[in-house]
Structure 1
Amino acid sequence: MRVIGLAGWSGAGKTTLLAALIPWLRGQGLTVSTIKHAHHAFDVDRPGKDSHTHRQAGASQVLVSSALRWALMTELRDAPEPELAALIAHLDPVDLVLVEGFKRDTHPKIEVHRSANGKPWLHPEDPAIRAVASDAPPPGGLPHAGLDDIPGIGALVLAHAAPWPG
């Protein structure tokens, strides 16, 4: 497996970019999985569902399965948040893992930058940033593609994704 992250400030367009990039990568014959970091409490379950009742009752893990998909939910219950490496270890093998967020980790990343956000560049302070997808030229001369150039960004992803483990 190879891994690369998309890192940038909220509102830069990371999720929108991933939604366009994944089909392009699959069109190149690659299998792709993603890991998304959330900075807030989130829930993939709904009150009233049996799985939610199981978690609320104190189950450490709840696995839900159907003919179409399965999902495993793990409650940390005051345990520390797992590191990226531990999360990647839970994935089935694929050609490429795209990581959204985890911008402070050291895996190779492509910075997603939108000028209208008014936020500073992550590069050059983050040496793990290998390339940039942006609506403006990046500082420091890193390889760059426009935010709407999916083949160009895809080429950057393929050029800079690193074998895992790191």
Structure 2
Amino acid sequence: MRIYGIVGYKNAGKTGLMERLVTEITGRGFSVSTLKHAHHSFDVDHPGKDSYRHRQAGAHQVLLSSRQRWALMTELRDAAEPSLGELLTRLDPVDLVLVEGYKRDTHAKVEAHRAETGNPLIARSDSTIRAIASDVPLQADQPVFDLNDTKAVADFILREVGL
């Protein structure tokens, strides 16, 4: 399975770029899955729902299924957060997995950058960043794409992974 990352600081445009890339790449006939790292506690379930009640009662895993989709939730309790590699083994095979976050991992990445955030480029100190998608022109050692030129970013990623 091929993986490619999208990283950047908060409000840099990562999620919007991910969304556009999924649309662009699946539109070309490739299968794509996504994996997103959250730095905070999150819940995909809601109090009062049966599956929430199962988790609250102590279930390690709860699988929720319907005609449209299924979701497997695993409670870590006091266990360590799984690594990116461990999580990738839980995905069904696809042509490409786009990973949002996990900027410290060693997979290749595109950095999303918005000048208005005032943050420095991660790419200047991270050799795993192969390109930058920015809302302003930049001088960098890596290729720089317009943050909204989804086709060019997709072309770059697909070339990088051999698709």
2:148 counterpart residue number: 148
Tell me how far 1:84 sits from its aligned partner: 0.2
1:60 equivalenced with 2:60 (yes/no): yes
Separation in 1 of the partners of 2:116 and 2:55?
Answer: 41
Q: Which amino acid aligns with 2:148?
A: D
The C-alpha deviation readout for 1:93-129, integer Å capped at 9, x for no partner, is 0000000001111111000111111001001211100
Stretch of structure 1 that moved more, 21-30 or 89-98: 21-30
Give the superposition deviation at 1:137: 3.4
Distance in 2, matches of 1:123 and 1:161, equals 19
Alignment gaps of 5+ in structure 1: none
Equivalent residues in 2 for 1:16-55, closer than 5 Å = 16-55=16-55
The aligned length equals: 163
**1:109 match:** 109
Q: Which moved more, 1:18-27 or 1:94-103?
A: 18-27
Q: Which residue of 2 aligns with 1:94?
A: 94
Q: Do the aligned residues in 2 keep the contact of 1:3 with 1:162 (CA within 8 Å)?
A: no
TM-score, normalised relative to structure 2: 0.96
CA distance in 1, matches of 2:132, 2:79: 35
The 3 A distance-change label for structure 1 pair 90 and 68 is same
Q: 1:162 to 1:4 in 2, by over 3 A?
A: farther
1:92 alignment partner, SS class: coil
Shift of 1:136: 2.6
Task: Could you list the structure 1 runs, at least 4 aligned residues long, displaced by more than 6 angstroms after superposition.
Answer: none
Tell me, in whole angstroms, the C-alpha distance in 2 between the residues paired with 1:141 and 1:162. 22
- Distance in 2 (CA, whole Å) between partners of 1:87 and 1:124 is 28
Q: SS state of the match for residue 45, structure 1? A: coil
The aligned residue for residue 128 of structure 1 is: 128
Amino acid at match of 1:38: A
TM-score of the pair, normalised by structure 1: 0.94
Q: Quote the Cα distance in structure 1 between the aligned partners of 2:24 and 2:135.
A: 20
Q: Tell me the distance in 2 between the aligned counterparts of 1:4 and 1:35.
A: 10
% of aligned pairs identical? Answer: 55
- Once the two structures are TM-superposed, the CA of residue 20 in structure 1 deviates from its matched residue by 1.3
Give the Å deviation of 1:10: 0.6
